[in-house]
Amino acid sequence: MIKALSQDLISQAKEIYERLKPTIEKKNWGEYIAIDPISKEYFIAPKLADAMRTARDKYPDRQFFSERIGFKSAVSFSYSHLHLT
Amino acid sequence: MALQQVIAGIDNENQIRLECEITGLYKATSYGAIVDTGFSGGLVLPQVIAVDIGLETVGAGNVTLADGSIRTLPMYMCKVKIGDVIQETDTLVMGNDVLIGMNVIDQFTLIVNGPKGQVSVEGAESAAGIRNALIQNPHDRLVNTLKKLTGR
């Protein structure tokens, strides 16, 4: 049975991401990360679906927290990050 | 790259729509999906369609909504076929329309003929090349630097 992401696991995954940020933002800015809060493993790929698929292939019974590296969210509507004023 | 004929056009609300086949866990169905270049993800499906075709849950992620707010929402995967190109893509469930975002569209070249209301879709064999060329452009290099600095 797939283990759903509880609020607690999401918080743990966000903490893992915050810890990784200084390192991965230099190397993988703009790519996507899928984090397994249980094993604390993470999977980075240029496309979100690829990061999630790699994570799912390794842990088919788990769920993952995703982010876009260097951005505030994994995906966005209206894509307003170019507002410079 | 030649692509199997794709039905695409501009609807009476001035939205670009293209025909795609979406395959979930239970079945596949065709839709005239709206092309949303402001959506950076892959696919958005209304709940009624998501339940009908069945989606694979893969977890959750932060999503910046159109009002600028950020919410952590469930994320799913499904397959989308445009022409003869099949992609597995990230999927959100919300709203009332099927939206195709940039994570799917970046595999294609879309040419919009506004006066004629026509849209042609081609496979983007050189999408990576175009993106690399843009990054070489001084303006884009500046924008990319600012993005890195501001994280936005």
A19 within a domain of the structure (yes/no): yes
Partner-chain contact A52 B36, CB within 8 Å? no
Work out the average pLDDT over B105-118. Answer: 89
A72/B61 touch (CB, cutoff 8 Å), yes or no: no
Any idea which architecture B8-123 has in CATH? Beta Barrel (2.40)
- pLDDT at position B34 is 96
Per-residue confidence at B115, pLDDT binned at 50, 70, 90? confident
Q: Across residues B73-98, what is the average pLDDT?
A: 95
Supply the pLDDT for residue A77: 93
Position A2 scores a pLDDT of 60
Q: Is position A35 within any domain?
A: yes
Checking ipTM against 0.90, whether it exceeds it is no
Percent of chain A with pLDDT over 70: 87
pLDDT given for residue B123 in this prediction: 81
Q: Is the pLDDT of residue B72 over 90?
A: yes
Percent of chain B as helix, strand, coil, to the nearest 5: 20, 45, 35
Contacts of A78 in chain B (CB under 8 A): 38, 64, 66, 68
Indicate the domain borders of chain B: 8-123
Any domain includes A60: yes
Identify whether A56 is part of a domain: yes
Number of Cβ pairs < 8 A linking chain A and chain B: 117
pLDDT of residue B129: 47
Of the partner residues B59, B64, B152, the one whose CB lies closest to the CB of residue A65: B59
Kindly list the residues from chain B whose CB atom is less than 8 angstroms away from the CB atom of residue A33: none
- What average pLDDT does chain B have? 85
CB-based contact A52 B77, cutoff 8 Å: yes
Gap between the Cα atoms of B55 and B24, Å rounded: 5
Report d(CA B64, CA A78) in Å as an integer.
8
Query: Which pTM does this prediction carry?
Result: 0.82
Distance of alpha carbon A61 from alpha carbon B78, whole angstroms: 17
**Chain B: nearest CA to A35, how far in angstroms?**
10
Q: Establish if A78 belongs to a structural domain.
A: no
Domain count, chain A: 1
Whether B103 shows a pLDDT value over 90: the answer reads yes
Stretch A56-78: mean pLDDT: 94
**pLDDT bracket for residue B126 (50, 70, 90):** very low
Instruction: Give the structural domain span for A42.
Output: 7-68
**DSSP sequence for B3-38:** -----EEE-TTS-EEEEEEEE-SS-EEEEEEEE-TT
Averaged confidence pLDDT in chain A: 89
- pLDDT interval class at B144 (50, 70, 90): low
Note whether A75 contacts B63, CB cutoff 8 Å: yes
Measured in angstroms, the CA of B56 and the nearest CA of chain A are apart by 10
One DSSP character per residue, chain A reads --B---HHHHHHHHHHHHHHHHHHHHHHTT-EEEE-TTT--EEEESSHHHHHHHHHHH-TTB-EEEEETTSSSSEEBS--TT---
Residue A33 counted as domain residue: yes
What's the Cα-to-Cα distance from B152 to each of B13, B53, B107, rounded to whole Å? 31, 35, 24
